Amino acid sequence: MPTTALYRDDFYLSTCEAVVTAVNEDGSIEFDRTCFYATSGGQPGDTGFLERADGSRITLDVTRHGATKDIILHMPAEGQDLPTAGETIVMHVDWPRRYKLMRMHTACHLLSVVCPFPITGAAVGEDESRVDFDMTETIDRDTVTKDLMRLVSENHPIFVQWITDDELVANPGIVKSKNVRPPVGMGRVSLVCIGEDSAVDSQPCGGTHVSETQEVGAIHIAKIEKKGKENRRFRIRFGTPDALA
């Protein structure tokens, strides 16, 4: 059964009430709606717990899409009790973890502004994220860090604009990723815009992001690796380079 993905319209929603619509054979749970982000586009799905009417908790380990994008499956940790269909529960996202992922994910967008080459891959992590670019140039790590921190401290607003799948197909130029599929298949696509009137950047993305660049906080490029002749892998970490030295 399709699930209403509340996180698509509110990145800061950490808790919500929902009704269990199915408990599948593999133990995965479906709800009428959810605030748990499902693994997609390089951002890992949410973890957290369900609070039942009697106060007991069910820990959730994994959130992912089912056979289609509108199906969202919540996987409980091993040995947990399962709820029953029709039960109303309160969902709680592990917010400290998710907020780090939102900051990191936003940092990846900023890196694509500073380093304007086609993206061939990306993975958002709590402690480190990586973005792969199709580029042959050698670029100075500290210069990239400085440019990133300038965008952070300028505190640009970040907002979402919705376009239809057809509009995206008609404007392929707005997609920066080469091998990463844009988030189509749900009728509408979110454009993540940075800066007043998208002056800094806009990019189709279905992930969750912070609402202004200052929230990203201190980040730096920890490493730039050469992965083949035309591929550079950038690793972003939190904190200042000095703090880790």
Q: CB of residue 31 vs Zn ion: minimum separation in angstroms? A: 24
Q: CB of residue 203 vs Zn ion: minimum separation in angstroms? A: 7
Token pair listed for 68: 């289609």
Size of the site for Zn ion (CB under 5 A): 2
Return the number of the residue (48 or 182) whose C-beta is nearest Zn ion.
182
Q: CB of residue 209 vs Zn ion: minimum separation in angstroms? A: 6
Distance CA 101, CA 113 (A): 19
Q: CB of residue 114 vs Zn ion: minimum separation in angstroms? A: 15
Query: Which residues 6+ apart lie within 8 Å of 112 measured at CB?
Result: 119, 131, 176, 201, 203
Q: How far is CA 179 from CA 41, 90, 149, 176, in A?
A: 11, 37, 27, 9
Q: CB of residue 189 vs Zn ion: minimum separation in angstroms? A: 12
162, 155, 150: which is closest to 195 by C-alpha? 155
- Please count the CA atoms within 13 angstroms of the CA of 120 that sit on its side-chain side: 11
Return the number of the residue (30 or 201) whose C-beta is nearest Zn ion.
201
CB atoms within 10 A of CB 175: 17
Here's the x/- map for Zn ion, 182-221, by CB under 5 A: it reads as -----------------------x-x--------------
Return the number of the residue (27 or 195) whose C-beta is nearest Zn ion.
195
- Is 124 an interacting residue with respect to Zn ion (CB under 5 A)? no
Return the number of the residue (30 or 132) whose C-beta is nearest Zn ion.
132
Return the number of the residue (45 or 207) whose C-beta is nearest Zn ion.
207
Contact (CB, 8 A) for 11 and 42: no
Residue with the closest Cβ to Zn ion? 205
Give the residues lining the site for Zn ion (CB under 5 A): 205, 207
